[in-house]
Amino acid sequence: MPQMAPTWWTMLFMVFNATLIVLSIILYFQKKMILLKKEDLKKEDLKTNWKW
């Protein structure tokens, strides 16, 4: 008979997987944001150079 209620270790495993996924997503978006900020800085530099 399959148990419907998950045991504590399966719960722990699921929580662990969820945290890993969330952390990887956060890191991915942080990298993207850093890249975007760098691009924005480059654009700003170009704009200031263009004005002068």
Q: Which pair of structure tokens corresponds to residue 41?
A: 């800085």
Q: CA 38, 40, 45: angle at the middle one, nearest 5?
A: 95
Assign 27 a pLDDT band (cuts: 50, 70, 90): very high
Assign 49 a pLDDT band (cuts: 50, 70, 90): low
Whether pLDDT at 1 is above 90: no
pLDDT in tens, 29-41: 999 888 888 877 7
User: pLDDT above 70 covers what percent of the chain?
Assistant: 75
Assign 9 a pLDDT band (cuts: 50, 70, 90): confident
